[in-house]
Amino acid sequence: MKALITGASSGIGREIAKYLASLGYDLIVAARSTDKLYELRDEIKNVDVRVITIDLSREQDSYDLYEHLKEEKIDFLVNNAGFGAYGKFNDVVLDTEIKLIHTNIVAVHVLTKLFLKDMISRNSGHILNVGSSAGFLPGPTFAGYYASKNYVVRLTEAIHEELRRDKVNVGISVLCPGPVKTNFNDVANVKFCIRGLSAEYVAKYAVDKTLKNKMIIIPGFEMKALKFLQHFVGEKTLTKISYNVQIKKN
């Protein structure tokens, strides 16, 4: 068995890689930080680990990654690479937003589509797209990031239903955690009001649920409760609440 994990140099991606290794998957780990990837490789002893340095904010890199691996059988794809940019829409630098869109949306779309075709032809495989609880909400002062995760959630839901209807033995899931204790906060320049779950717990929970073909994966009771309560709040009110929560992250 072989797994490809993007954004594997830290946080959830790193922990997913380690957990998949414990399940016996050989790994292909991809990210921009070569040193951290080699540190991860040296930490994992029981399976083969291959390192690929790549920057998925460049659209072509997604195609190049697939071309490099298309002859191999990828049994488990984890689209984890992503980042956030905090600030009012008018203030965030456009170039940063374009890189965010390429990383959080385009790369997920391209890699899902290309590797999914191979999995369908074999009638086996799993894809885990790492979204966020942000994927269920509007995000004033974090608009690009929230919009990108909305895309990932809805894309995954649609593909999951298509595969179910076609009775294809390929699973696709989306992980939608709340705050997780990773370096995401530093990159996005925010701090969260809700206590964060450990990346190790979230990774194990996500992989286990993906292997059971759970469509939407929400770790932690607090986020499950918030997702349930959201159904009773109008969109306008939800947007106002979201703004008040987001502004406190600065």
Catalytic residues: 145
Task: Convert the chain into a string of H (helix), E (strand) and C (coil).
Answer: CEEEEECCCCHHHHHHHHHHHHCCCEEEEEECCHHHHHHHHHHCCCCCEEEEECCCCCHHHHHHHHHHHCCCCCCEEEECCCCCCCCCCCCCCHHHHHHHHHHHHHHHHHHHHHHHHHHHHHCCCEEEEECCHHHHCCCCCCHHHHHHHHHHHHHHHHHHHHHHHCCCCCEEEEECCCCECCCHHHHHCCCCCCCCECHHHHHHHHHHHHHCCCCEECCCHHHHHHHHHHHHCCHHHHHHHHHHHHHCCC
Both tokens of 244, joined, read: 């008040």
Residue matched to tokens 């600065």: 250
- Residues 99 and 92: beta-carbon distance below 8 Å: no
2-6 sheet: strands from edge to edge? 49-53, 26-31, 2-6, 76-79, 126-130, 171-175, 216-217
Beta-carbon count within 10 A of 121 CB: 10
